Structure 1
Amino acid sequence: MAKFVVLGVSGEEGYWFVDFEAGTVTAMPSTVEAPFGYSTEARSHGAVLTAGVDLAVTVTDQDDAFAGRYDSVPFSGRYDT
């Protein structure tokens, strides 16, 4: 299992470093270059860049994460966006 993830949230500038073992999420300093050379420009054009992540959903708070809003209908078998 991966021990770290770099995240960028749509509509937000900058990147976050997630350390699963330590249980921490830290903002990467703005002085650091984009972690993947093309990522800042690609994201500014709406690109979604993923590797090694099979679920990522933004929520407004912890309660929203457990509200079951994605459980109301069975999986269609299609990869809908």
Structure 2
Amino acid sequence: MAKVVIIGIPGEAGLWLADLGAGTVKPLNPTGDLGTANDLRKAGGTFVKGVDLAVAVSSAQVALSGHVDG
């Protein structure tokens, strides 16, 4: 099972590398195919692989409360 997730959200030019095992999140400078996917994402595309739930929320408080805001 994957323990590392690459995250990109609208309005954020860069990507983030979340290491679930280490409990860390760090900026990621994408290269190669990942750089190409990031360019498509910045142009409005969506790329999803190996993730079965992803939700962007306005704050950690919202997520911890169990709500999914719109």
Please give the TM-score of this superposition, normalised by the length of structure 2: 0.77
Partner of 1:62: 60
- Which residues of structure 2 form unaligned runs of 5+? none
Q: Which has the higher contact order (CA 8 A, sep 6+)?
A: 2
Residue 17 (str. 1) matches residue 41 (str. 2): no
1:67 to partner: Cα distance? 4.4
Structure 1 residues 50 and 33, CA gap change in structure 2 (3 angstroms): same
The structure with more strand, counted as a fraction of residues? 2
1:34 to partner: Cα distance? 6.0
Count how many residue pairs are aligned between Structure 1 and Structure 2.
Answer: 68
* Partner Cα distance (1:53, 1:6) in 2: 10
Match of 2:67, as an amino acid?
Answer: G
Structure 1 residues 23 and 38, CA gap change in structure 2 (3 angstroms): same
- Which residues of structure 1 form unaligned runs of 5+? 71-81
The structure with more helix, counted as a fraction of residues? 2
Contact 1:16 1:26 in 2 (8 A): yes
Please give the TM-score of this superposition, normalised by the length of structure 1: 0.69
For the aligned residue pairs, the C-alpha RMSD in angstroms reads 2.1
Percent identity, aligned pairs only, is: 37
* Partner Cα distance (1:47, 1:6) in 2: 15
When Rg is computed on C-alpha atoms for both structures, the one with the higher figure is 1
Name segments (4+ residues, structure 1) moved above 3 Å.
Answer: none
1:40 to partner: Cα distance? 2.5
Partner of 2:51: 53
